[in-house]
Amino acid sequence: MFELYQLEQLLAVAECGTLSGAAERLHLSQPALSRSMQRLEAELQVSLFLRQKNKISLNENGALAVDYARKVMSQAQDMVSRIQAFDRSQRTILVGSCAPAPLWEIPPLLSDLYPDRTISSETRENEVLLQGLREGIYQLIILPFALEEEGLLCEKYEEEHLYFSLPPAHPLSGSKGLYLRELNGEVMLLRTRLGFWNGITSEKMQDTRFLVQEDAAFTELAKSSALPCFTTDLAIRREGHIPNRIEVPVLDAEANVTYYCLCRRAAQKDLQGFFRWLQGRGGE
């Protein structure tokens, strides 16, 4: 039976158009590649090439073989990826979140619940998280909306509400609530790696100049600067109020979200301790 490396070589010949070009790409000598293609033909018991003096090209058999080779190589790579992902899932719980706040609590909790597992986390876009969960890359994801999908378990986790953090001298600091558009066009401080919050602010405040800062620099600048910035109720609960600031609720519907934890139902048993905790707190 032929080997996968022979299919890889066949694809290289098809893509390069010449044996010499394919041999150079594969770091093989041209005679070695030619012998390998001859063995492939012998194993398939058909001719794959039209051979002329100093020239070789695929015949109809070869073109069909190339189509199948692409499918086989794709399936082989998919097999490798899935098995590696499964192996990681036995030793690692990879958590993907749409925003930073859920990662303040959930990974430490998982470390306590599963001390024999490595807990990793990252913030990514909603579409990336969902695709990764379906493919088994993530064992757990957090989204800013509920999702009913066959094969997935979805449980409410927590709410988060966005606030403007304004210096007392700001003309809108006395407001009971503000829409994002009301500060559009100003200069504002902004944290890095905010997940889906970045999309909301950039869409609703297109004329705003955001000075993006890492967490440590953001905190210091927020304390000493007169520039508006954002905070949330979860950030205030974790870090406290920024001194000499007034928090004004953001009224846009998109600025008040409910987070949901999702896993594949096939992995539900593996994470039952976490979901038992989640259900026990009532999603509050």
Give the CATH architecture of domain 88-146+262-280: 3-Layer(aba) Sandwich (3.40)
pLDDT at 74: 93
- Give 169's contacts (C-beta < 8 A, 6+ positions apart): 226
pLDDT digits (tens, 9 = 90+) for 249-269: 999 999 999 999 999 998 888
Q: Do the domains at 4-80 and 159-256 have one common CATH topology?
A: no
pLDDT at 88: 67
Topology (CATH) of 159-256: D-Maltodextrin-Binding Protein; domain 2 (3.40.190)
Rounded CA gap, 145 and 261, in Å?
A: 9
Tokens 């599963």 found at = 114
* Nearest partner of 159 among 32, 17, 281, judged by Cα: 281
Q: Residue 283 above 50 pLDDT?
A: no
CATH, range 4-80: 1.10.10.10
Locus of tokens 């066009």: 185
Per-residue pLDDT tens digits for 13-29: 999 988 899 999 999 99
CA dist 152 and 263 (Å) reads: 6
CA triple 246-250-253, angle to 5 deg: 165
- Tens of pLDDT, residues 29-67: 999 999 999 999 999 999 999 988 778 889 999 999 999
The residues spanned by each domain of the chain are 4-80, 88-146+262-280, 159-256
Model-level pTM?
A: 0.69
CB of 82 closer than 8 Å to CB of 14: no
pLDDT value of residue 282: 60
